[in-house]
Structure 1
Amino acid sequence: MRMKIAAAAAMALTAMPLSASADGEVNIYSYRQAYLLEPLLNAFEKETGIETNVVFAKQGLAERLEREGRNSPADVVMTVDISRVNELVERDLVAGVKTDTLTGNIPENLHHPEGKWYALTTRGRLIYVSKERVEEGEITTYEQLADDKWNDRICTRSGKHPYNIALISSMIAHHGEAETEEWLRGLKDNLARKPQGGDRDQIKAIAEGVCDVAIGNSYYYGNMLMDENQRPAAEKVNLIFPNADGRGTHVNISSISLTKSAPNRDEAIALMEFLTSPEAQRIYAEANTEYPANPGVKPTGLVAEWGEIHPDDLSLQEIANHREAAVKLVDRVDYDG
């Protein structure tokens, strides 16, 4: 394997620059951990002979790109949610690119209108419920999270986390700010504890009896089922695909964007096209228990066992456009307070 990992934490970003001059390579800035990309990049290198180099960080990649400017060695940025990729767009750090392969593989609602990002995988923002304390059909929509019957029975992570901001943004897109604010206040009133932890911690809280209902991404549940130590907690919850009989379940994405400074533009586009291909889509989605963004590729493994997802077909770019309003709503209702 010739994939190179140039950094494993945000602190290392300024200490280990990538080369921008080598031929036949792609330099990747990634919000997704490099080991999750390894099967994909190995397959890409085997097929094309193009070498890949990865810088991973949980945060700070947009700032680094901005600081480096036209001298940045980064060719592509791989993100893990629509909020982070929209930050790249708003800062004018990524370039629009459209090819027949990219637009043919990824549906219109899952790529930027000008080609500034393309979804690679999707994951549902689902409702987790206790198998013991919540009956089938008791809750089927996001809107019902604000119902009085769930008073002191719901757990979530911070309202300001990008995953929840994206969900709130989608609610604004469908219902407007005033109605979404009322909904968010109702959800806050139903919290069993102050928002905390990650999505896995919400599943653990249900298993421990702290709450009966929680919000989380589908792939966290899948990852817990594959972990011997976390499986017992995951097995105590059921997954609900909200609004499946209506507008559809809100989905978020992992994505890829071409940087404006890309020194290896042709190789970068080759990587983007490869990652949207059926072969790569199967590898990536299965490795992360997510859904392929390419509609011609069916889910496999655990994801297929959960049943068909009916995603909200609202453009994710439209959802991202409500991000600022969503952040203000979280502050206005003091959701995390």
Structure 2
Amino acid sequence: MSALSTGIKAAIAALALGGAFAATAQEPVLNLYSARHYQTDEALYTDFTKATGVKINRVDADDAGILARLRSEGASSPADVVLLVDAARLWRAEAEGLFQPVDSKLLETRLPATLRGKDQGAGSQWFGYSTRARVIVFNKAEVQREDADTYQELADPKNKGKVCTRSGSHPYNLSLFGSIYEHIGAAATETWLKGVVANMARSPKGGDTDQIRAVASGECGIALSNSYYVARLMRSSKPEDKAVVEKIGVIFPNQDSWGTHVNIAGGALAKHSPHPEAGIKFLEYLASDAAQAHFANGNNEYPAVTSVKVANPALDALGTFKSELIPLSVVGLNSVRVQQLLDRADYK
């Protein structure tokens, strides 16, 4: 296909999208770019529309795709609100000027400062609405809990040939590595990453659920995963998932030191939002008790509003834990620095 024809098709697609948004311009609308691909979120959007009368037009893509789209659309972007599932990507979008500050007393009151973008006088540019812990999963028949209860031990020679992870450059891992960078510094982080690579049972591949299954099968002894993937398997009625859960143990690392790393799913008001009032209303809605409970009960995440009661048997079974208190805006900045260390450590 020629570059010309590709460009024409892209232009037609853009016009079609613009037409879809324009068709609803006479009614209250919110144009949402979302990296949250969870069916349970449909109730969030439906409830918001019922409560406010604002219709949601949604575009789904992954974090990287959404940011690329915002860059390409520039000032003509129809996006009002952007939902991403990683602090590092939220930080990067803020740094690139893709968001605008939101001055909301409600959001400042309900959401912890560590889960918001830095307030530079006009409000924060992004807000974390749910958290997920970066846990260590281990094979109970092959690994002792005390041999894997810190992130540092992933690089300990005693765990040689046991460690499995997804790609080191995946946002979930980059954010974890960015937090470790903050705790121990650049040189020690590089040494640690090289140790993790040396301990791998196989080259990084797959997603977090793949790592959990590999631990259960014995291919790996230890793996990293976001907590909600574990909780999802725990709540499954499938026999194969129940078998996986029986074989694994779950650790919240570093409980005797700085605490377990947490990442966020967060939202922001797009820089060129055509409906900023609706956008802010939606961002504030996501901090409501009802929406926060949905994050926990619908998708096995932890609510950012700490007063919200969770009714999720899997999260209850995992138990409480101490989380680290590094601002996620700092983690986002460090994740950029970590990428160079990954290259030197040959962490694929």
Task: Identify the TM-score tier after normalising by the shorter chain.
Answer: over 0.9
Instruction: Say whether 1:243 aligns with 2:254.
Output: yes
Deviation at 1:297, TM superposition (A): 1.3
Counting aligned pairs with the same residue, the percent is: 38
CA distance in 2, matches of 1:225, 1:245: 26
Q: For residue 268 of structure 1, what is the aligned residue in structure 2? A: 279
Contact 2:145 2:251 survives alignment (8 Å): no
1:165 to 169, 174, 189: 174
SS of structure 1 residue aligned to 2:131 = strand
CA distance in 2, matches of 1:13, 1:77: 20
SS of structure 1 residue aligned to 2:147 = coil
Instruction: Say whether 1:108 aligns with 2:113.
Output: yes
CA distance in 1, matches of 2:284, 2:310: 20
1:85 to 90, 104, 107: 90
CA distance in 2, matches of 1:13, 1:66: 16
2:329 to 286, 304, 317: 317
Contact 1:76 1:262 survives alignment (8 Å): yes
2:221 to 208, 212, 226: 212
Between 253-262 and 137-146, the greater mean CA deviation after superposition = 137-146
Deviation at 1:207, TM superposition (A): 1.3
Instruction: Say whether 1:127 aligns with 2:136.
Output: yes
Residue type of the alignment partner of 1:291: Y
CA distance in 1, matches of 2:308, 2:285: 14
Between 121-130 and 276-285, the greater mean CA deviation after superposition = 276-285
Normalising by structure 1, what TM-score? 0.92
Deviation at 1:233, TM superposition (A): 1.7
Contact 1:106 1:293 survives alignment (8 Å): yes
User: Whose helix fraction is larger, Structure 1's or Structure 2's?
Assistant: 2
Instruction: Tell me how large the CA RMSD over aligned residues is.
Output: 1.7
CA distance in 2, matches of 1:92, 1:143: 35
CA distance in 2, matches of 1:163, 1:104: 27
State the Cα deviation string for residues 88-110 of structure 1 (Å, max 9, x = none): 11221100102110111100000
Residue type of the alignment partner of 1:188: V
How many residues are aligned here?
Answer: 326
Deviation at 1:323, TM superposition (A): 1.6
2:74 to 55, 69, 77: 69
Normalising by structure 2, what TM-score? 0.90
CA distance in 1, matches of 2:331, 2:230: 24
Q: For residue 297 of structure 2, what is the aligned residue in structure 1? A: 286
Q: Residues 221-232 of structure 1: matches in 2 within 5 Å?
A: 221-227=230-236, 228=238, 229-232=240-243
Contact 2:89 2:332 survives alignment (8 Å): no
CA distance in 2, matches of 1:86, 1:255: 11
State the Cα deviation string for residues 13-69 of structure 1 (Å, max 9, x = none): 745344153441111001111623211111111211211111101241112112212
Q: For residue 6 of structure 2, what is the aligned residue in structure 1? A: none
Gaps of 5+ in 1: 1-9
Q: Which has the larger radius of gyration?
A: 2
Residue type of the alignment partner of 2:87: I
Contact 2:71 2:98 survives alignment (8 Å): yes
Q: For residue 97 of structure 1, what is the aligned residue in structure 2? A: 102
Deviation at 1:244, TM superposition (A): 1.5
SS of structure 2 residue aligned to 1:44 = helix
Between 224-233 and 107-116, the greater mean CA deviation after superposition = 224-233
Residue type of the alignment partner of 1:154: V
Q: For residue 176 of structure 1, what is the aligned residue in structure 2? A: 185
Contact 1:13 1:55 survives alignment (8 Å): no
